[in-house]
Amino acid sequence: MNRELTTHEKNKFRQQLQALRARLLGDVKELEAEALRPTGALSGGATEDPGTSEAAEEVARTLLASEENLLNEVSAALDRLAQGTFGQCEHCSRPISRERLEAIPYARTCIRCARAGEREPV
């Protein structure tokens, strides 16, 4: 079941991660523009409820934080691919299942460690 990932499979994950990174980089740029836009700078902003655009900025900032976080994870996964540690759990060093990698190619931990981590108090 958990044989080593083949070069072909690693290439496939690399392509997925690079595509994801490209998409995230585009999203982050857009969200940054949204989050950094001064309130009321829109043309016709006088008629707009100021609360609405503040809420939109807040949403953009929240999204931005999670997209940046994801971008870091994707970059870290690409580093692991380059270093040959991709697909190995950072906690227990056991291989991460192929199903898990296919669902989350930037997963750092195996499902057991991920589940144990979720139960820990934050």
- Residue ranges binding Zn ion (CB under 5 A): 89, 91-92, 110, 113
Q: Which is nearer to Zn ion, 78 or 110 (CB)?
A: 110
CB of 107 to Zn ion, least distance (A): 10
The smaller minimum CB distance to Zn ion, of residues 25 and 92, is found at: 92
Least distance from C-beta 71 to Zn ion, angstroms?
A: 24
Closest approach of Zn ion to the CB of residue 101, in Å? 13
Residue type, 38: P
> What letter does residue 46 receive in the DSSP assignment?
G
Other Cβ atoms within 10 Å of 67 Cβ, number: 18
64 or 110: whose CB is closer to Zn ion?
Answer: 110
1 or 46: CB nearest Zn ion: 1
Least distance from C-beta 115 to Zn ion, angstroms? 10
Q: What Cα–Cα distance (Å) separates residue 67 from each residue in 23, 45, 72? A: 10, 28, 9
